[in-house]
């Protein structure tokens, strides 16, 4: 009986791996894929400065996520960020934070910031589509997401200070 099942399973596997017609112009699979791939453009809501010992060393454009809807969406469905930009998540209170990367197509660095603006912790090179939670390793009121490697490229470290300003017309 076993010797009969193995060839039968192999045939079923080969048939299941048959020709893919999703490259055909009118293929439902191709249409669905194009319709569900949405790239949301970056919206500059303000600027954020990074400083150490009172000296500013970098200023970036930020998109602000300050309500449940924008915080939940975050950088989902984005293919990238403009140079020197990021998304700032603002929470009502300083507390332990946890982030995950489901539906996020770009690798990120997560910068967890205390209510006084000092960097609590940094989680680097978080892979896209990760479903495990990335914890803040301490209380944070703000979280800045930038493309993976950005914190290393600018030299941001724990204890540095970030300050942000919202653009007035938002």
3-state secondary structure of 33: helix
- In total, how many domains does the chain have? 2
pLDDT of residue 162: 98
Same domain, 22 and 57: no
pLDDT of residue 16: 41
Same domain, 87 and 137: yes
pLDDT of residue 169: 60
- Taking alpha carbons only, the member of 116, 113, 106 closest to residue 137 is 113
pLDDT in tens, the chain (170 residues): 444 444 433 333 333 444 343 343 443 333 334 445 567 889 999 999 999 999 999 999 999 999 999 999 999 988 999 999 999 999 999 999 999 888 899 999 999 999 999 999 999 999 999 889 999 999 999 999 999 999 999 999 999 999 999 996 65
Parent domain of 27: 2-35
Same domain, 9 and 72: no
Same domain, 23 and 103: no
Contacts of 153 (CB under 8 A, 6+ apart): none
Same domain, 50 and 86: yes
Same domain, 27 and 52: no
pLDDT of residue 102: 83
Same domain, 64 and 146: yes
pLDDT of residue 64: 97
Taking phi over 0 as left and psi of -120 to 50 as alpha, with beta for the rest, 40 belongs to beta
Same domain, 91 and 59: yes
pLDDT of residue 36: 58
Question: Residue 8: in which H helix or E strand, if any?
Answer: helix 2-16
Same domain, 79 and 155: yes
Residue 51 belongs to a domain with what CATH number? 2.60.120.1140
């Amino acid at each position: 009986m076993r010797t009969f099942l193995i060839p039968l399973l192999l045939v079923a596997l080969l048939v299941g791996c048959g020709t893919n017609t999703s490259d055909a112009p009118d293929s439902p699979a191709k249409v669905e894929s194009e319709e569900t791939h949405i790239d949301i453009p970056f919206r500059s809501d303000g600027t954020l400065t990074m400083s150490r010992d009172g000296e500013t060393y970098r200023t970036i454009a930020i998109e602000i996520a300050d309500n449940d809807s924008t915080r939940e969406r975050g950088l989902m469905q984005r293919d990238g960020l403009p140079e020197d930009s990021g998304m700032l998540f603002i929470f009502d209170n300083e507390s332990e934070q946890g982030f995950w990367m489901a539906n996020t197509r770009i690798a990120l660095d997560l910068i967890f910031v205390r209510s006084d603006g000092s960097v609590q912790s940094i989680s680097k090179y978080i892979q896209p589509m990760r479903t495990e939670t990335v914890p803040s390793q301490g209380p944070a009121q703000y979280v800045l997401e930038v493309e993976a490697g950005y914190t290393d490229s600018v030299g941001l470290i724990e204890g540095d200070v970030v300050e942000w300003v919202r653009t007035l017309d938002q």
